[in-house]
């Protein structure tokens, strides 16, 4: 089966989230980083990290999966999905180096 690529966007609960996380939120976000790092090491995640949008910082990732259900499962397993919202979009084409 050919792999599919998805753009994931982690939308914080408030525009200032990156600047004023509570200690509990910071701990969850550290778990979030560790969660995605293992998939990066496996090659399932191609890249992930914060986007410094002047309006509000958000997280992004590009994942390679078998199907949309796998994307949903990855998102559901992320500790940050407890306190933030995810959006995801299929990528029509991918150019790799």
Q: Flag whether pLDDT at 85 surpasses 90.
A: yes
Q: Work out the pLDDT band at 97, boundaries 50, 70, 90.
A: confident
Mean pLDDT for the chain?
Answer: 95
Asked whether the beta carbons of 81 and 61 are under 8 A apart, the reply is: no
* C-alpha span between 58 and 45 (Å, rounded): 17
Asked whether the beta carbons of 80 and 28 are under 8 A apart, the reply is: yes
* Mean local confidence (pLDDT), 63-74: 96
Instruction: Name the pTM for this structure.
Output: 0.91
- Residue carrying the six token digits 């407890």: 82
Q: Could you tell me which residues come within 8 angstroms of residue 90 by beta carbon, excluding any fewer than 6 positions away?
A: 4, 5, 6, 68
* C-alpha span between 25 and 55 (Å, rounded): 20
* Mean local confidence (pLDDT), 41-62: 95
* C-alpha span between 90 and 65 (Å, rounded): 10
Pull the structure tokens for residue 3.
């792999």
Domains detected in the chain: 4-90 (3.30.70.1060)
Q: Work out the pLDDT band at 96, boundaries 50, 70, 90.
A: confident
């Amino acid at each position: 089966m050919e792999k599919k690529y998805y753009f994931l966007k982690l939308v914080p609960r408030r525009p200032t989230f990156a600047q004023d996380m509570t200690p509990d939120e910071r701990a969850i976000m550290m778990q979030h980083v560790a969660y995605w790092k293992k998939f990066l090491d496996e090659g399932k995640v191609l890249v992930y990290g914060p986007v410094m949008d002047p309006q509000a910082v958000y997280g992004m990732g590009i994942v390679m999966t078998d199907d949309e259900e796998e994307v949903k499962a990855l998102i559901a397993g992320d500790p940050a999905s407890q306190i933030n919202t995810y959006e995801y979009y299929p990528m029509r084409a991918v150019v790799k180096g």
